[in-house]
C-alpha cells in the first residue's frame, strides 16, 4: 500500500492524482522489491558461503544479485501502474491488482521461474481467507490482497462518494471471502471422504556436513538410522513410509549393497517405501537426476520420479559463462538434469505424486500431477542447507498452499525438518521441529474430488495479463 501511494504521486493544482515519471517509478519499485526479497531470501548468502565455498563477501553479493533480479518484477509493476495513474488518475488504483498479479505470475516462469513467497502466500495461515486458493490458486489470493491494499490507498487519496463506494466494496469482498472460507472449513467434507491411510514420515536429521563428507562409517550410520526408524514407524501403524530427499548415503544405481538393503527392508516391513536418492542413467553421456524411488512391498521398483525443476546455484548454475566468480560452487556441486514429466506412485490401488524440494513452490506442477490422477500429495526435501533461518518455515508454508489449491492431503518428509501433514483446508495436522530426529505416523486420505483451481488453472493470472494489456492500450489511445 505505501508503494501504491508513492507511485500515485501527488495532487497537483488541478486536484488530480498524478503518477510518477517512469524512471522514478522503476526505482521505487526496485527499492521496494529489493527490501522484500532481501528480507525473504537472505539465507541464500549463508548457503553459498557455508556449503558453496564462496567467500562471505561474494556470497553476500550473490544474494543481493538474486534479490535485485527478483526486484525487477515489482519494478516493472511500478512502471506500468504509474503509467496508468498518469493517464487515468486515482481510479487507476483499482487496476493495480491485475497488474501486480501479471508481473508476479511472470516471475514464476521467466528463466525457469522463481515463484518464491508470492503475495498470496502471506495469507496461508489466515485460513478463512486463503480458502479461495481452491478456486483461483495462490495468484487469486494475491489478487485479493492487492485489491485490499489498492482500496486503502484509493481511500487515502480520494474523498467523497467514490471513497465510500470503494471502502464498502472492499469490506463486502472481505466479508464474502472470509464467510465462504469459514463455511468451507466448517463443512470439512474432504476430511471424511476418500480412503484413509497412515503415513510414516522419517526425519533422520542428518547433518549436511555428514552428507558432504561421507565416509563408510557415516554412510553406515545414516542407512541403519533410516532402517531402524522405518521399522519403528511400521510397528506404530505406518502403511506407507516416506524418506526425505537424497536420504540414501549412496546413489541408488551405484551401490548394489545399499540398493539390496532397501529392497530387503521393503519386503520385511511389507509397505510401499518412497526414498529420495540420486539416479544415474548410463549412456553417451551419463545423465544424473535428483530422484525419488518408490519400492513396492515386494521390494521391486514401482516408479521413479526425476526432479523437473532444479534449484539454481544448487543443482545447476544458470548463466554460468557470465558469472565466473561462482566457480567454487560449480566445482562443489555436480550438475543435475531435469526430469521430463510427473510420475504416479502406486500405493495399493491408489496413486500418489511427489515433489522434490523447491519444485513444490510451482503451482502448475502440482496441479498437473492431480490432473494425472494423484490422490495424495507428497513432498520430500532436505532443508538442512538453510540452518536455523526462516527458509524451512517459508518452504513449509509454500508447500501448504498446494494442499489448499488442490484439495488434497499433503505429506512432507524433510531431512532436518519441517516434516508434517497438512489437510486439504491448509490446517497443519502435525509438524516436526527443525533439527530433531523424529519418525511421524499420521493419517491422511486418498481423495479424488478436484477443486475448481485444479480444473481451470491460472485463469486469474492470464486474465490479469489481458486486463493489463487492454488498460495500457486504452490509456495510450486516450492520451493520443
Q: Which of 104, 158, 211, 307 is catalytic?
A: 307
Query: Is 357 labeled as catalytic in the residue annotation?
Result: yes
Using CB atoms within 10 Å of the CB of residue 62, give its burial: 0 to 12 exposed, 13 to 18 middle, 19+ buried.
Answer: buried
Maximum Cα interatomic distance, the chain, rounded to a whole number of Å: 82
Nearest-angstrom CA–CA distance, 469 and 392: 37
Nearest-angstrom CA–CA distance, 303 and 279: 12
Q: Which of 104, 158, 239, 245 is catalytic?
A: 245
Using CB atoms within 10 Å of the CB of residue 16, give its burial: 0 to 12 exposed, 13 to 18 middle, 19+ buried.
Answer: middle
Nearest-angstrom CA–CA distance, 352 and 174: 35
Identify the CA nearest to 261 among candidates 441, 252, 233, 270. Answer: 252
Q: CA distances (Å), 16 to each of 92, 354, 458, in order? A: 12, 53, 35
> Is residue 418 reached through a cis peptide bond, with omega within 30 degrees of 0 on the bond before it?
yes
Which residue is it, cell 493419517?
A: 443
Nearest-angstrom CA–CA distance, 27 and 25: 5
Query: Is 245 labeled as catalytic in the residue annotation?
Result: yes
Nearest-angstrom CA–CA distance, 279 and 288: 6
Query: Is 193 labeled as catalytic in the residue annotation?
Result: no
**DSSP strand pairing (345-347 vs 350-356):** antiparallel
Nearest-angstrom CA–CA distance, 369 and 353: 6
Nearest-angstrom CA–CA distance, 82 and 80: 6
User: Residue 208 has which C-alpha cell?
Assistant: 549436511
Q: Which of 211, 357, 375, 442 is catalytic?
A: 357
Length of the chain: 480
Question: What order of strands is seen across the sheet that includes strand 420-422?
Answer: 345-347, 350-356, 376-381, 410-414, 420-422, 428-431
3-class SS of residue 232? helix
User: Residue 243 has which C-alpha cell?
Assistant: 524418506
Residues contacting 235, CB < 8 A, separation 6+: none
**DSSP strand pairing (376-381 vs 350-356):** parallel
The catalytic site residues sit at: 245, 307, 357
Amino acid at each position: 500500500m505505501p508503494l501504491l501511494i508513492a507511485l500515485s504521486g501527488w495532487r497537483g493544482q488541478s486536484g488530480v492524482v498524478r503518477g510518477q515519471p517512469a524512471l522514478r517509478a522503476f526505482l521505487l519499485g526496485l527499492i521496494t522489491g529489493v527490501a522484500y526479497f532481501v528480507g525473504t531470501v537472505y539465507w541464500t548468502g549463508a548457503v553459498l558461503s557455508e556449503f558453496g565455498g564462496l567467500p562471505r563477501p561474494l556470497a553476500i553479493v550473490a544474494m543481493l544479485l538474486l534479490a535485485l533480479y527478483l526486484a525487477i518484477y515489482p519494478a516493472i509493476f511500478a512502471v506500468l501502474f504509474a503509467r496508468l495513474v498518469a493517464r487515468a488518475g486515482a481510479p487507476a488504483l483499482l487496476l493495480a491488482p491485475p497488474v501486480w498479479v501479471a508481473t508476479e505470475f511472470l516471475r514464476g516462469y521467466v528463466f525457469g521461474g522463481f515463484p518464491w513467497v508470492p503475495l498470496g502466500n502471506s495469507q496461508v495461515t489466515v485460513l478463512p481467507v486463503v480458502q479461495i486458493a481452491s478456486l483461483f490458486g495462490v495468484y487469486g489470493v494475491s489478487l485479493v490482497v492487492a485489491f485490499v491494499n489498492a482500496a486503502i490507498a484509493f481511500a487515502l487519496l480520494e474523498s467523497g462518494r467514490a471513497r465510500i463506494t470503494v471502502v464498502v466494496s472492499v469490506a463486502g469482498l472481505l466479508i464474502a471471502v472470509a464467510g465462504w472460507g469459514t463455511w468451507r472449513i466448517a463443512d470439512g467434507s474432504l476430511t471424511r471422504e476418500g480412503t484413509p491411510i497412515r503415513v510414516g514420515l522419517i526425519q533422520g536429521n542428518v547433518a549436511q556436513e555428514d552428507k558432504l563428507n561421507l565416509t563408510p562409517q557415516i554412510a553406515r550410520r545414516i542407512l541403519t538410522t533410516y532402517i531402524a526408524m522405518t521399522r519403528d514407524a511400521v510397528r506404530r501403524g505406518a502403511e506407507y513410509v516416506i524418506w526425505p530427499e537424497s536420504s540414501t548415503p549412496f546413489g541408488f544405481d551405484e551401490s548394489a549393497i545399499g540398493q539390496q538393503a532397501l529392497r530387503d527392508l521393503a519386503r520385511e516391513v511389507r509397505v510401499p517405501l518412497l526414498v529420495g536418492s540420486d539416479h544415474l542413467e548410463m549412456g553417451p553421456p551419463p545423465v544424473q537426476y535428483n530422484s525419488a524411488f518408490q519400492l513396492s512391498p515386494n521390494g521391486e521398483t514401482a516408479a521413479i520420479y526425476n526432479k523437473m525443476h532444479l534449484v539454481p546455484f544448487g543443482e545447476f548454475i544458470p548463466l554460468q559463462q557470465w558469472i565466473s566468480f561462482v566457480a567454487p560452487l560449480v566445482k562443489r556441486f555436480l550438475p543435475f538434469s531435469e526430469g521430463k514429466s510427473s510420475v504416479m506412485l502406486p500405493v495399493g490401488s491408489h496413486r500418489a505424486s511427489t515433489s522434490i524440494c523447491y519444485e513444490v513452490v510451482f503451482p502448475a506442477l502440482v496441479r498437473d500431477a492431480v490432473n494425472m490422477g494423484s490422490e495424495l500429495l507428497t513432498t520430500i526435501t532436505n532443508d538442512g542447507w538453510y540452518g536455523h533461518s526462516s527458509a524451512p518455515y517459508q518452504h513449509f508454508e509454500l508447500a501448504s498452499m498446494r494442499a489448499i489449491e488442490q484439495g488434497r492431503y499433503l505429506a512432507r518428509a524433510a531431512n532436518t525438518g519441517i516434516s508434517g501433514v497438512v489437510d486439504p483446508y491448509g490446517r497443519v495436522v502435525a509438524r516436526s521441529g527443525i533439527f530433531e530426529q523424529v519418525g511421524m505416523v499420521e493419517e491422511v486420505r486418498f481423495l479424488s474430488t478436484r477443486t475448481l483451481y485444479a480444473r481451470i488453472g491460472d485463469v486469474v493470472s492470464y486474465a490479469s495479463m489481458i486486463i493489463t494489456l487492454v488498460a495500457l492500450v486504452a490509456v495510450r489511445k486516450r492520451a493520443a
